[in-house]
Structure 1
Amino acid sequence: MSSGKGKYGSLALTRRQFLANSAVSGLALSAPYVITAQARAATQLVYIGYGGSTQDVITKVFIASFIKETGIDVLSSPGADLAKLRAQVQTGNVEWDLLNLIGPQASAAGNDGILEEIDYAVVHKGGAIERGQSKFFNTYYFSRGGIGFNPDKFPSGKHPTGWAEFWNLEKFPGRRGLRSRPEDNLEMALIADGVAPKDVYPIDVDRAFASLDKIKASVAHWIAETPQTVSLLQNNEVDFVFTYSSRIEAARKQGSAVDFAYGPNFLTPGTHVIPKGTKNRDAAMQLMGHFLRPDLQAAFCNETGSTPINPAAVPLMTPEVSARQPKFDDPQVMFVNVDWWAENYAAVNKRFLEWRLA
């Protein structure tokens, strides 16, 4: 989940700048069949994601088909940021219509009252999806967090496949790469220390930090930007890294010698939210629902290796990608508890930053 400039423009792009650049993005068309003719020409959605290869696929699969089928303009750009979202809503200058946020941030934003309540009569028009929905955010896929490695350097049996092995510095010596934030790190530390995935929450923070102490000296890089989780592998700056299946799959398709340990992965909801006060609420709800269509979810996951929220997508996926999908009842798979993080993030993050610098 990256920031900075991406294929579809700068993080700082305003709606006016989006309009000026719409010819470059190729995403400016007309308007929706459910919106009145008078409003049709004026309707234009701004979709904000995290950039990188994942947003490229989002734009190709979801955004382009939505434009074609509804005629609603959609301008897609990176720059998802909770602080910017909060500032827009608080100042009454809402420029974004649909925003991709990681689950903990989406939950926090809902608690802060800066999101529109979701109209599930529109969003789930094609049928309700039981998992991943809430009053203020809707999950459209799960990102899969796990261990990345170079298969040429570390073939089968020579790389860790789970968190206990990732922590085993004697059996699997080498430079580690971890995210520079507490979420995911505390969970993997507990699982490495023997806690079952189903028992991770509520997080025993003291035990997690004690476990992190055991691996801290081997962490060569604390990674702030998601693309670095792969580039550090490619540049031989780490041996084993916490990363995401979508990033590894994108790099593999480009010929990089990287691989992902499928199995005991973390599933983190990729969510959509609608900023409170958007002028395009109804059209934004339509776009949110469009992301749940099984054929589009299958196409997205075929390219990213992610996990769809709609179970009807699984039979539509390629056999290779479908075979790698986690079973939601697998005891080795852990669902990140976004509500726990929304309530505890500030205090835990402060302790984590102090721990890293100590």
Structure 2
Amino acid sequence: MTPDPRFRYTRRDMLRHAALLGGGLAAAPILAACGNSTPSNAGAGSGSGSGSGGSKRVVVADWGGAIQDAEKKNLYEPFTKETGIEVVISGPPSNAKIKAMVDSGNVEWDVVAGGLSNVLSLGRDYFEPLPDKLMSIDGIAKEYVDTHALAYYVFSSNIGWNTKTLGGQQVGSWADFWSGSIPGKRTLAGIEGGSVPELEFALMADGVPVDQLYPLDVDRAFASYAKIKDRVSQWWSSGSQPGQMLVSGQVSAASIWIGRIRTLQDEGAPIGYTYNQGMLMPASWIVPKGARNKDAAFQLIEYSVQPEVQGKLWGSYLEGPTNSKAVEFMDEKWAKGLPTHPDNAKLQFVRDDKWWGEHTDAVLKRFQEFVL
């Protein structure tokens, strides 16, 4: 089945605001037609290698997979056409790599697709403060803005299952996911690809209410993990893995990003899912300290959160935009399937990145010991 190009949208003003949804939009010089929304200094200057001035190159640490393909087509390539700045894709993002780069003074990445938790975990000294102009972009709620991180979409991790393997059986909650009544193996996020363990899911499986998740009870979460460990075929390390494992029948149920679920469904894969007890996570741009092309990085960040750009990008891949004005450039029908649509958002919770920023290192160490 060929994916409907209209059906991809993203975000809402997080749980509190509406839903931001998908749609189509003309390509190429997007900003040229939207008045004063063009990022300042776009396309100015020439040269490379310096942290300021008119660099013509920006290196982005991204996650790969279907979402990167969507970003390449609807963000990176239009940005290059608009500004003349080449986007070089690298990655995947990793705190360890950021730390090593900054500590050594050899910073290869200019901008990273990460989150506030990365900043809080490593410390603000490892990142460039964002320009004031990025602190007050029209349409972006304050909850998505930090001095060192700017959210450009919201993604959602949910329960997915192989409908062919399970027949009419559904996995409606994490308690079901953990239950032996669901046949087959499982897969959950590991830490090899830069992710963090999904302690929240383990706690909900053990009966912790959504509104009482934080601060996370780490001991209880790992005790819950121990109950399902033997049924975990693999702790996935990239966004594409859980979908591949579901389609191949290697597992019957998985924690999986909603964008990947819908892409596979468009391709005819037998995958079902629920938004119940899903986890909403803002994805933010962060700039490593000493980035060689930081001005170009700031231009890319500013470009990525323009409503027309978000309408095009998240109108072609199922994630939630952070600019509420993006809805004006999206298809209303598509909105109803988005993780940030009010009907779907109310079934989910927002990950507490501040908690993770303070506890990531300790949790990663414990998880490494747990999986041995």
Q: TM-score, normalised by structure 1?
A: 0.81
Change (3 A) 1:245 1:275: same
Contact 1:48 1:96 in 2 (8 A): yes
Change (3 A) 1:268 1:347: same
Q: After TM superposition, give the deviation of residue 331 of structure 1 in Å.
A: 4.9
Q: Which residue of 1 aligns with 2:336?
A: 323
Paired residue for 1:146, among 158, 179, 200?
158
Change (3 A) 1:131 1:195: same
Give the Cα separation in 2 of the matches to 1:112 and 1:130: 19
**Per-residue CA distance 1:231-270 (angstroms, 9 max, x = gap):** 1111110000011011222223333332332343101221
Paired residue for 1:188, among 201, 208, 231?
201
1:104 correspondence with 2:134: no
Q: Which residue of 2 aligns with 1:278?
A: 291
Change (3 A) 1:95 1:216: closer
Paired residue for 1:202, among 211, 215, 218?
215
Contact 2:115 2:149 in 1 (8 A): no
Give the Cα separation in 2 of the matches to 1:44 and 1:208: 44
Paired residue for 2:256, among 214, 238, 243?
243
Q: Map residues 48-127 of structure 1 onto 2, 5 A cutoff.
A: 48-109=61-122, 111=123, 113-122=125-134, 124-127=136-139
Q: After TM superposition, give the deviation of residue 334 of structure 1 in Å.
A: 1.3
1:338 correspondence with 2:338: no
Change (3 A) 1:322 1:215: same
Q: Which residue of 2 aligns with 1:135?
A: 147
Q: After TM superposition, give the deviation of residue 277 of structure 1 in Å.
A: 1.4
Contact 1:55 1:78 in 2 (8 A): no
Give the Cα separation in 2 of the matches to 1:45 and 1:112: 21
Give the Cα separation in 2 of the matches to 1:215 and 1:237: 16
Aligned-pair Cα RMSD in Å? 2.6
Q: Which moved more, 1:99-108 or 1:56-65?
A: 99-108
Give the Cα separation in 2 of the matches to 1:218 and 1:334: 26
Q: Which runs of 5+ in 1 are unaligned?
A: 1-31
1:351 correspondence with 2:366: yes
Change (3 A) 1:42 1:204: closer
Contact 2:135 2:146 in 1 (8 A): no
Q: Give the residue type in structure 2 aligned to 1:313.
A: A
**Per-residue CA distance 1:201-251 (angstroms, 9 max, x = gap):** 110112222222332232222222322111111111000001101122222
Give the Cα separation in 1 of the matches to 2:146 and 2:342: 19
Q: After TM superposition, give the deviation of residue 354 of structure 1 in Å.
A: 2.1
Contact 1:138 1:272 in 2 (8 A): yes
Contact 2:43 2:85 in 1 (8 A): no
SS in 1 for 2:202: helix
1:163 correspondence with 2:174: yes
Contact 1:103 1:268 in 2 (8 A): no
Q: After TM superposition, give the deviation of residue 70 of structure 1 in Å.
A: 2.1
Give the Cα separation in 2 of the matches to 1:345 and 1:104: 8
Contact 1:197 1:331 in 2 (8 A): no
Q: After TM superposition, give the deviation of residue 117 of structure 1 in Å.
A: 0.3
Change (3 A) 1:315 1:197: farther
**Per-residue CA distance 1:16-54 (angstroms, 9 max, x = gap):** xxxxxxxxxxxxxxxx84565465875321122011111
Indicate the structure whose relative CO is greater, using CA pairs within 8 Å and at least 6 residues apart: 2
SS in 1 for 2:270: coil
Change (3 A) 1:225 1:38: closer
Q: Give the residue type in structure 1 aligned to 2:173.
A: G
Change (3 A) 1:272 1:253: same
Q: Which residue of 2 aligns with 1:256?
A: 269
SS in 1 for 2:171: coil
How many equivalent pairs are there? Answer: 324
Contact 2:314 2:320 in 1 (8 A): yes
Paired residue for 2:312, among 285, 299, 306?
299
**Per-residue CA distance 1:74-97 (angstroms, 9 max, x = gap):** 222343222222222222222221
Q: Give the residue type in structure 2 aligned to 1:135.
A: T
Q: Give the residue type in structure 2 aligned to 1:312.
A: K
Contact 1:47 1:77 in 2 (8 A): yes
Change (3 A) 1:140 1:323: same
Q: Which runs of 5+ in 2 are unaligned?
A: 1-39, 48-52
Give the Cα separation in 1 of the matches to 2:55 and 2:367: 46
SS in 1 for 2:166: coil
Q: After TM superposition, give the deviation of residue 184 of structure 1 in Å.
A: 4.8
Q: TM-score, normalised by structure 2?
A: 0.78
Q: Give the residue type in structure 2 aligned to 1:53.
A: A
SS in 1 for 2:172: coil
Paired residue for 2:186, among 172, 176, 180?
176
Q: After TM superposition, give the deviation of residue 102 of structure 1 in Å.
A: 4.5
Q: Which moved more, 1:32-41 or 1:48-57?
A: 32-41
Q: After TM superposition, give the deviation of residue 193 of structure 1 in Å.
A: 2.2
SS in 2 for 1:304: coil
Q: Give the residue type in structure 2 aligned to 1:177.
A: T
SS in 2 for 1:139: strand
SS in 1 for 2:277: coil
Q: After TM superposition, give the deviation of residue 163 of structure 1 in Å.
A: 1.4
